[in-house]
Amino acid sequence: MASRWAVVVMTHAYGNRSGVRYITNGLKVYYVPWRPFLMQNTLPTLFLTFPIIRTILIRENISVVHGHQAFSTLCHEALMHARTMGYKVVFTDHSLYGFADAGSIHMNKVLQFTLADIDQAICVSHTSKENTVLRSGIPPEKVFMVPNAVDTAMFTPSPQRLSCDEIVIVVISRLVYRKGADLLVEVIPEVCRLFPKVRLSLCYAL
């Protein structure tokens, strides 16, 4: 969300942290007094969040509402209420979900409902874009691919020259189903069988 502040963030309460926080570099955070109940998600209420979302949108003179994460109930409700009020909305998705298990079927239906009237969507890879288009029914021309950024100051070449016949594979991700951890488990044994000198580095990202 953009206003007289550079960015206004709305999220649920974290522990004892609720209310408004003013952060440096033009960032303002609203910790809405809703407690998460499962996987850092608030209980779906549909309309109970509308008064506080409306207040924030009007008070901060918001121009664009940006929702993030397919399983975030607060995200879906904010996007739905923002479109009801006539705001421009953008949704970002960077997780892969299936089409057969109960959780994915349920979430795909929710996506089709809440994303039916969005202005644009952002995905972090071409595979993610294809997955989101199939799950939500968004027209492909509305979905843009923006790769995840890498801070090159934190990743520098090794000072030691590696052997030419040695392959290094680095995976930086949360080791959860929606990040493809199950695919990684299936691929690693096959890669090790084909390339005996392969080196795997798994970095768990929060």
The residues spanned by each domain of the chain are 7-145, 150-206
Q: Would you give the DSSP letter of residue 104?
A: H
The pLDDT-based confidence of 2 (bands split at 50, 70, 90) is: very low
Q: Which of 3-7, 17-21, 83-87, 200-204 has the highest mean pLDDT?
A: 83-87
> Does the pLDDT at position 20 exceed 50?
yes
Which residues make Cβ contacts (< 8 Å) with residue 185, sequence separation at least 6? Answer: none
The predicted-structure confidence for 156-192, as pLDDT tens digits, reads as follows: 777 777 677 778 888 877 777 767 777 888 888 999 8
Instruction: Determine how many CB atoms are found less than 10 A away from the CB of residue 168.
Output: 11
> Does the pLDDT at position 205 exceed 70?
no
Q: Is 30 helix (H, G, I), strand (E, B) or coil?
A: strand
With a threshold of 0.85, does the pTM exceed it? no
In this structure, are strands 19-23 and 7-12 parallel, antiparallel, or unpaired? unpaired
Q: What is the mean pLDDT of the chain?
A: 85
For the domain made up of 7-145, give the CATH fold: Rossmann fold (3.40.50)
Tokens of 186: 């299936």
Gyration radius from the chain CA atoms:
20
The DSSP line for 137-202 is ---GGGEEE-PPP--TTT----SSPPPTT-EEEEEEE--SGGGTHHHHHHHHHHHHHH-TTEEEEE
